[in-house]
Amino acid sequence: MKYIQVQFNGQTAVQNEMIIAMLADMGFNGFEEGNHVLKAFIEETKFDNGRVEALAIINDLPYTVSLIEQQNWNALWERSFKPVVIGAFAAVRAEFHEPVKNVLHEIIITPKMSFGTGHHATTHMMIEQMSSLDFTNKVVLDFGTGTGVLAILAQKMGAGSVDAIDNDEWSIDNARENIANNNASHVTLQMAETIALNRKYDIILANINLNVILQNMPVIAKLCKPGALILLSGFLISDEAAIKDALHANKIGFRSLVQQKDWICVKGGQL
């Protein structure tokens, strides 16, 4: 599988946050931020240069497009990937890092193209918010699992079973490897575009993007057991009203909101 790399130059950190959100809606699933530089990655077959060009024109940003081979990604990540430590609760590291001491849960993630290493604000907030939930013997759904990091953490926190779903082949391959490396035997991985309606969940995790979450909110609501909790992220503070409206329309109560940079994470609950 080949990937397209789009590099934007000259933007601010605030612009990066907005551009990442827009690119995620287009199907980009890997990002690397630098000083006034943003690199975004998407499968070659999903790349639409017209949409990227329109985004660049609106934001008055120069950009370049290049084709990269799948096998080049590991070396790139190994040069830049650093462990992520979230207080005393959890750490996310690669196999080539030294073990992180004095944390309750340590997760080993092989750094590949899949989104979700804990570095991005949305994943970081999801992990933080999970720390306050009781996963003991719970039935959990991780919708848009990416690397599988949230599904793996859910099992480490005592979940009875976890269904992890993603529609990207690269993500599924990466998540499968990470699940095995973390001995997460209670996690069931599935490649799918939509969520099946044959099971009810105690906790639903969805760290994707605004459009996918809004489109699937009616299904998410139907999957909730009585008293179910929902954690949602992958969208900006400017999307708060849209998320709250979708929760209300589907009879899911709004519980709380946390913010990191321009990104937010919302907790909801079955009414």
Exposed, middle or buried: residue 152 (CB in 10 Å: 0-12, 13-18, 19+)? Answer: buried
Give the per-residue pLDDT at 84.
Answer: 87
HSE-CB at 32 with a 13 A cutoff on CA atoms is 17
pLDDT tens for each residue of 12-51: 777 887 888 888 888 887 777 777 888 888 888 889 999 9
Block residue for tokens 């991985």: 189
At 95 the pLDDT is 84
Nearest to 262 by CA among 10, 9, 60, 22: 22
Round to whole Å and give the CA distance between 220 and 24.
Answer: 20
The answer, yes or no, to whether residue 270 has pLDDT greater than 90, is no
Lowest mean per-residue pLDDT among 54-63, 228-237, 239-248, 249-258:
54-63
pLDDT at 155 over 80: yes
**pLDDT at position 86 over 60:** yes
Query: Residue 118 — pLDDT band, cuts 50, 70, 90?
Result: low
Cβ-count burial of 266 within 10 angstroms (0-12 exposed, 13-18 middle, 19+ buried)? buried
Per-residue confidence (pLDDT) for residue 117, from 0 to 100: 59
Q: In the chain, what's the furthest Cα-to-Cα distance?
A: 51
Indicate if the pLDDT at residue 121 is higher than 60. Answer: yes
Percent of the chain with pLDDT over 70: 92
Cβ neighbours of residue 28 closer than 8 Å, sequence gap 6 or more: 6, 40, 41, 42
How much is the pLDDT for 126?
96
pLDDT for 160 beyond 80? yes
Report the candidate in 245, 215, 214, 247 with the shortest Cα–Cα distance to residue 230. Answer: 247
pLDDT of amino acid 28: 84
Residue 103 has pLDDT above 90, yes or no: yes
Instruction: Give per-residue pLDDT as tens, 215-229.
Output: 999 999 999 999 999
**C-alpha gyration radius of the chain:** 18
Please, which residues have CB within 8 angstroms of residue 204's CB and are 6 or more apart in sequence? 140, 141, 143, 220, 223, 224, 228, 229, 230, 231
Instruction: Look at residue 79 in the predicted model and tell me its pLDDT.
Output: 58
Q: Judge whether residue 203 has pLDDT over 70.
A: yes
**Predicted TM-score (pTM) of this structure:** 0.80
pLDDT at 71 over 70: no
DSSP string, 68-134: EEGGGHHHHHHHH---EEETTTEEEE-TTSPPPPS-SEEEE---SSSS-SS-SHHHHHHHHHHTTS-
Q: Rounded to whole angstroms, how far apart are CA atoms 176 and 191?
A: 11
